[in-house]
Chain A
Amino acid sequence: ETGVTQTPRHLVMGMTNKKSLKCEQHLGHNAMYWYKQSAKKPLELMFVYNFKEQTENNSVPSRFSPECPNSSHLFLHLHTLQPEDSALYLCASSQVATSGNRLWSYNEQFFGPGTRLTVL
Chain B
Amino acid sequence: TQLLEQSPQFLSIQEGENLTVYCNSSSVFSSLQWYRQEPGEGPVLLVTVVTGGEVKKLKRLTFQFGDARKDSSLHITAAQPGDTGLYLCAGINTGFQKLVFGTGTRLLVSP
Contacts and interface: CB of A to CB of B under 8 A. Distances in A.
B95 A92 contact: no
Contacts of B45: 108-110
A111 B99 CA distance: 13
Interface residues of B, number: 22
Contacts of B43: 43, 90, 111
Interface string A12-53: 000000000000000000010100000000111100101000
Interface residues of A, number: 27
Interface stretch (B13-21, B69-77, B101-109): B101-109
Contacts of A104: 95
B42 A112 contact: yes
B48 interface: yes
Contacts of B44: 111
Contacts of A4: 42
A56 B33 CA distance: 21
Interface of A: 4, 9, 31, 33, 42-45, 48, 50, 56, 90, 92, 94, 96, 102-106, 108-114
